[in-house]
Copies of this chain bind each other. A is one copy, B any other.
Amino acid sequence: MHHDLTGTTPQMSRDKPESPRVTMDDLAKAAGVSKMTVSRALSGHPLVKTSTRERVLHLAEQHGFRLNIAARNLRQRSTRTIGVVIEMTPSHDRSMSEPYPLSLLGGIMQELTSHAYNMVLTTLPLFVASPPAVDGLILLGQGVHEDAVDMVQRTGLPYVIWGSVDGNEDHITIGSDNVAGGRIAADHLLGQGRRALAFIGDDKHLEIADRLRGFAARIDEAGATLVGQASSRFTREGGYDAARTLLAGGAVFDGVFASSDAIAMGVITCLRDAGHTVPDDVAVIGFDDAPGAALFTPSVSSIRQDWDRGGKLLAQKILALTKGAKPLSESMPVEIKARES
């Protein structure tokens, strides 16, 4: 008995088979077996007779069968997909200045991939307006608006956050030890004999606030002074403006901790424009060890985060969560990259 599979699809042009939409039922009829056997054969189930499997596989190939993933997702109650919610579209040609760069996504991807999970990238507004089918979420950044966390929380999906790791175990957070990063930055400047220090960065971000906290604490311990502080966007322009504001306010400092490398470059440029030399008059240290930090003149000292590992941890924790485990928050050490600035 012969079944004309193509005949079941009414609207198709002959040159370009519009949508063959061959289902397992079709294959089953063609092979003279049940739908179930087809399913087993295609998924490599060991109990299928080899000859049967081969016949089914051949027919599937021949008819261009492709599994309907959406159907399987529904039936299995699992999508093998994790959503990554980013705060901003990762655009602009200044990937350098992005707080959550490719490396973090890279780490996440590697780990998800090795567990045969997919990753869907989304923004918070899109996630709310048109949610993708996922088993769990990774939230990149609590940002200034902690309502991002709220929004995600109310979806009822398991989630983990990249950000500031406090003791609060309401949610699972992975992040660099920003407080330690701040202390290390202070140590670096103090070690060069700097005593009047300034901080530049937006401490409405929890992570930045942590850096400032560690920085200020260490300065205090050492008996030096935090003489100034200015908020800044994560860009060179932001750093430039912030430094100018500080100088205009009459602040006198010989060391600056900028909360990103892009900001640090802006600060350095501004200092020079104002007639100061870097690092002789003022030493500057940034954060992130961005690709450009080593290329800038002078090369920019920085605090390096292990983004790759961070991404992997995020992925591991969310996968554990979806499997019912109870992973813990984790904070990762940072390290200094001392350079000319």
Specify the chain B residue showing the minimal Cβ separation from A131.
B69
A96 in contact with B291 (CB, 8 Å): yes
Min distance, Cβ A21 to any Cβ of chain B, angstroms: 9
Known pairs A70-B79, A130-B80; A95 contacts B102 (CB<8 A): yes
Asked whether A94 is an interface residue with its Cβ less than 8 Å from the other chain, the reply is yes
Interface of chain A residues 155 through 184 with chain B (CB within 8 A): 155-157
Q: Is A93 on the interface with B (CB-CB < 8 A)?
A: yes
Q: Contacting chain B: which of A84-92, A137-145, A188-196, A243-251?
A: A84-92
Whether A260 is near chain B, meaning CB under 8 Å from some CB there, is: no
- 10 A-B pairs whose Cβ atoms sit less than 8 Å apart in the complex: A66-B155, A73-B73, A73-B133, A79-B132, A81-B120, A90-B106, A91-B107, A94-B291, A119-B120, A295-B296
Chain B nearest CB, measured from A310 CB (Å): 12
Give A274-293 interface residues, CB cut-off 8 Å to B.
Answer: 289, 291-292
Question: Do the beta carbons of A101 and B95 come within 8 Å of each other?
Answer: yes
- The answer to whether A1 has its CB under 8 Å from any CB of chain B is no
Partner of A95 from the list B116, B130, B291 (CB cut-off 8 Å) is: B291
- Interface size of A by Cβ–Cβ distance < 8 Å? 61
Min CB gap A134→B, angstroms: 8
- Of the 9-residue stretches A121-129, A198-206, A215-223, A328-336, which lies at the interface with chain B? A121-129
- Which of B90, B101, B156, B295 is within 8 Å of A20, CB to CB? B156
Distance of A18 from chain B, by nearest CB (Å)? 8
Partner of A116, one of B64, B74, B129, B133: B129
Residue among A17, A105, A265, A297 with the highest chain B CB neighbour number at 10 A: A105
Contact assessment for A121 and B102 in the assembled complex, using a CB-CB cutoff below 8 Å: no
User: Is A308 an interface residue when CB atoms closer than 8 A count as contact?
Assistant: yes
